[in-house]
Structure 1
Amino acid sequence: MIFLLLGAFQMDSFAQYRVIVSSDFPPIPVTNSDPDDVQSMVRFLLYTNELEVEALIASAGTFNMVANKGNILNVLDQYDLVDETLRKKDSMFPTADFLRSVTFEGLGNNHHIEIKWGCGKQLWSDIIGPGKNSEASDVIIAIADKPDPRPVYIGVWGGAREVAQAIWQVQNSRTKEELEVFLDKIRIFLIGCQDASHSWLMDNYPNLYIIESKTTYQGMFGVGTQEWAETNIIKDHGPLGAIYPPKAMAGSGVIEGDSPSFLYLLSANRGLNDPEDPTQESWGGQYVRNGDTNHFIDGPGPISISKWKNAFQLDFQKRADWMLP
């Protein structure tokens, strides 16, 4: 039945989910960070025809906790070299100029703030609160405030500080009822736990839709070998494919620990799941509700992603071929 659904997928059936990506994006070539964000971004850009990209946010995360949107803009320069070719396959691919216009920078240790990597390393009030707004946290508020009834899916690849600061700002400047309206518009997918804002969100907002993937994301590790990546993505697939790192911190080949945050939307576009119900199976994993909260935590674990690798890797392989002239 699943394969029938996937086989029946039509190009005109995209749901155009509204998406924000918040990534601790490293420079290219990668230094002092994890290359898997670059891997995930290459895959993400090849599916932007299926998603309505509201913002690309450079956040702090991993080791040096630096937020630099220039790193994302550098990748968009490579996308700029292939986007016209991609639009020959589907006119819905955004231009590089549009994506540049929705790229924003959060706060990191290169700003007036000190963020420590990981949970339990500092007080949440060290990184969230008065005077800690950024262009990234401001734009999250503006996006959620749009008169669009569709929810906004926020994939948090690095630290969650920017979305947490947005929520803090709304909480401290609006009524309780207005806060609830705001929270009802956003869906958060947390990959790991990279700063003190993570626990603040989990502890204080039980009704906020949050997927907390502490281990399930590891189902992406090794879904493709280095040889597979070099053959199907890196070599002879244009400048965007060429920047796909052949290895990351967790090993060689395809790692992409952040990709589940949008893979569950792509599988929804193929009729496999409803992203409003993370307990369903999806390319981004399957999760269980945490008690009576609206939080969804690791359930079956990494296997709930890796079981779909043949489907999403073949799809990625075909999508990468769209970059060929």
Structure 2
Amino acid sequence: MFFSIPRLLTAGLLASVIPAHTISRTERFRTVVTTDMEQDDLASLVRYVLYTNELDTEGIIYTSSKYHWAGDGKNTKFFLPNREYNTSQTSWRWTGTRTIEDILLKAYAEIYRNLLVHDSAYPTPNDLLSKVKIGNIVFEGEMDQDTDGSNLIKSLLLDNDQRTLYLQAWGGTNTIARALKSISEQYAHTAQWLHLQASVSRKAVILASGFQDETYAAYIAPNWPALRVEDFSTAYNTWGFNCNKGQGNVRGLPDQHEFFTGAWIKANIQIGPLGRLYRSWLDGQHTPGDQLDVFGNYTLAAAPGTWCKPLGPYDFLSEGDNVAFNPLLTTGLQDASNPALGGWGGRSKLNSSTPELWQLVVTEKAANGSEVKDWTTNRWVEAASNDFAARMQWGLTSKYQQGNHAPQVKIVGGAKVRAKAGETVKLAARVSDPDRDAVTVSWWQYLEEGTYPGEVAVTSDKRRDASAMVPADAKSGQTISIIVQATDDGDFPLTRYDRVIITVK
């Protein structure tokens, strides 16, 4: 379990130093979701709308992918090799353009008043509804025509808001690519083009749960090489489709398996108007229009030839797109400007500088001291799952006292410290909990975030104080990352963090 990391030191603490506060709109990350709306996209959207109080959602846009496209309505046939179909199709697994409006946001509206009790920053259902657009959906990779969705992205990239615009690609990147191409077509022959291209490249960041068409490789990478793109596809190993390969449900083993079991999901997630939309194994649900969505029915899912064999009722199925917004959530670790720092979205490394492409690291050192594949995302499963469940409860509770709300923790003195090799750095944290819950405070070294290659001794001398000994062999310029985390004792324990980077003088 995450809390058994050897470098961890804990102490129980009840404190109320930092008052709870709502994040202002200008502090929130500005983002657009593009989605091909298969069943795991709907599950990810169920989670997403519960975090819209922390994000400045500028758009939720239907797009196509290699798995889902609408066709042109004229019976035009389309074919690409190495796809799920082996004959030309007029559309493929298309789920329509009304699920978000008629199903998801209708459920959100039913719980909206309760959500407001817990945070007044939740957007109204009508506000979210106004952000829903149809992008490029006709064929896989289609980016020939401007659409309402691509025009929205274009306008956001060209507006006067200086904040970074995080463009989430849950399906193909074609609607995003169309917006970029439209900008190019309008301005490439003008004197301001090079400046404008550089400005848009700085402003836009693409957060891709995977590349589900060819438009990143074919258009974005060669034409917008300075635009940062983050590929989270390996996080599918944590959050993607959970299939029975003859071993049963092994997701999360050995330490965080509970959160992938049917007992936990059915009791804590698939509840209430919104939670009932969440998808899990053998839950009786089906996405209209998707002939390959057999996951809700055992007979269909277990039939010969199906690629993903069923697990037990309500076991975790897939939520493969929360990987694209987890880096933006307000946990205290988030620093969306620096993918090399870890957090609920994992920790990435630069794969290519031209084009600028970041990808998740393969391994990190886990609780047992060994290098473990996918630990960069697996280490956060417990905290993220409890947080999701607590927010699902918010939608069902009309009194603030009936919900659990996250503690806050802040390292005294700021996020950066300079120290000499052999020096002991004194650390202290201020902690509060809006519910006045008991809070456990823990200090640990995030080994991979620093450039010093070894472990650092972190000790605690008081309930919320700690000290870190800079090793004698540390070299000037090397860095050491120390994390403080605070976990309350609510029914769904909630965790928040802060980070200090020690730079060796």
Tell me the TM-score normalized by structure 2. 0.55
2:393 — aligned with what?
A: 321
**Deviation at 1:255?**
2.3
> Any unmatched runs of 5+ in structure 1?
27-34, 117-126
Q: 1:65 aligns with which of 64, 69, 87?
A: 69
Distance (Å, rounded) in 1 between the aligned partners of 2:171 and 2:396: 31
Other structure's SS at 1:164 match = helix
How far, CA to CA, are the matches of 1:102 and 1:311 in structure 2? 30
Q: Are positions 1:198 and 2:211 aligned together?
A: no
Q: What's the CA shift string for 1:195-234, capped at 9, x where partnerless?
A: 1212122343321111012323332244522222111011
Q: Are the equivalent residues in 2 in contact too, given 1:24–1:62 (CA < 8 A)?
A: no
Asked if the contact 2:68–2:140 (Cα under 8 Å) also holds between the matched residues in 1, the reply is no
Q: Which amino acid aligns with 1:39?
A: A
Alpha-carbon spacing, 1:45–1:84, altered in 2? closer, same or farther (3 Å): same
> Residue 225 of structure 1 contacts residue 254 of structure 1 at CA under 8 Å; is this kept in 2?
no
| Number of the residue aligned with 1:261 | 324
Tell me if the contact between 2:112 and 2:125 (Cα under 8 Å) persists in the aligned partners.
Answer: yes
Q: 3-state DSSP class of the match of 1:52?
A: strand
2:326 counterpart of 1:307 = no
Task: For 1:8-87, list aligned pairs within 5 A.
Answer: 10-13=20-23, 15-26=27-38, 35-66=39-70, 68-74=96-102, 75-87=104-116
For structure 1, which segment, 315-324 or 192-201, has the greater mean C-alpha deviation from structure 2 after superposition? 192-201
What is the TM-score with the length of structure 1 in the denominator? 0.83
Matches within 5 A, 1:238-317: 238-247=272-281, 252-253=315-316, 255-266=318-329, 269-293=330-354, 294-300=356-362, 302-317=374-389
Structure 1 residue aligned with 2:265, among 229, 249, 252?
Answer: 229
Q: Secondary structure at the match of 1:296?
A: strand
- Residues 227 and 253 in structure 1, CA contact (< 8 A), matched pair in contact too: no
- Say which of 107, 126, 145 aligns to 1:97: 126
Q: Is the 8 A contact 1:284 1:305 kept in 2?
A: yes
The answer to whether structure 1 residue 176 and structure 2 residue 204 are counterparts is: no
* Residue 217 of structure 1, aligned match among 212, 230, 236: 236
In 1, the alpha carbon distance for the partners of 2:151 and 2:126 equals 21
**CA offset at residue 54 of structure 1?**
0.4
* Per-residue deviation, 1:71: 1.6
**Cα deviation code 1:74-129 (max 9, x no counterpart):** 211111111111011111101111111110001223xxxx326xxxxxxxxxx234
Report what 1:120 is aligned to.
none
Name the CA shift for 1:3/1:218 in 2 (closer, same or farther; >3 Å): farther
Change (3 A) 1:133 1:211: same
Share of identical aligned residues, percent? 26
Q: Which digits, 9 at most, give the CA deviation of each residue in 1:38-69, with x for residues without a partner?
A: 11000000010001110000111253323743
* Aligned residues of 1:246 and 1:254 also touching (Cα < 8 A): yes
**CA contact 2:22–2:119 (8 Å) conserved in 1:** no
Preserved contact between residue 229 and residue 254 of structure 1 (Cα < 8 Å): no
Report deviation, 1:254: 5.2
Describe the shift of the 1:3–1:193 C-alpha distance in structure 2 as closer, same or farther (beyond 3 A). Answer: farther
Q: Secondary structure at the match of 1:206?
A: coil
* Bigger Cα displacement from structure 2, 206-215 vs 38-47: 206-215
Secondary structure at 1:133 match in 2:
coil
Closer, same or farther: CA 255–64 of 1 in aligned 2, 3 Å: closer
Inter-partner Cα distance in structure 2 for 1:138 and 1:281: 33
Contact kept in structure 1, 2:280 and 2:318, CA below 8 Å: no
Which of residues 151, 161, 166 is equivalent to 2:164? 151
Report which stretch shifted further, 295-304 or 157-166: 295-304
**Max Rg structure:** 2
User: 1:9 and 1:291 mapped to 2: Cα distance?
Assistant: 42
Secondary structure at the counterpart of residue 289 of structure 1: strand
Query: Is 1:39–1:254's contact at 8 Å kept on the other side of the alignment?
Result: no
Shift of the 2–291 alpha-carbon distance from structure 1 to 2, 3 Å rule, reads farther
1 or 2, which has the higher helix percentage?
A: 1
For 1:71, give the aligned amino acid. T
1:262 Cα deviation after fit: 0.7
TM-aligned CA deviation for residue 13 of structure 1: 4.9
Which residue identity is paired with 2:214? Answer: A
Native 8 Å contact 2:36 2:68 kept in 1: no
Residues 100 and 2 from structure 1, CA distance in 2 versus in 1: closer, same or farther, beyond 3 angstroms? farther
Deviations 1:6-41 (A, max 9, x none): x98954356311110101114xxxxxxxx2111100
CA change 1:232–1:2 in 2 (3 A) is farther
**Any unmatched runs of 5+ in structure 2?**
1-7, 71-93, 188-192, 241-250, 252-258, 282-294, 296-306, 364-373, 398-505
The Cα shift of 1:300 comes to 2.4
The residue aligned with 1:119 is: none
Deviation at 1:298, TM superposition (A): 3.0
C-alpha distance in 2 between matches for 1:227 and 1:303? 24
User: Residues 44, 136 of structure 1: CA spacing in aligned structure 2 closer, same or farther, 3 A cutoff?
Assistant: same
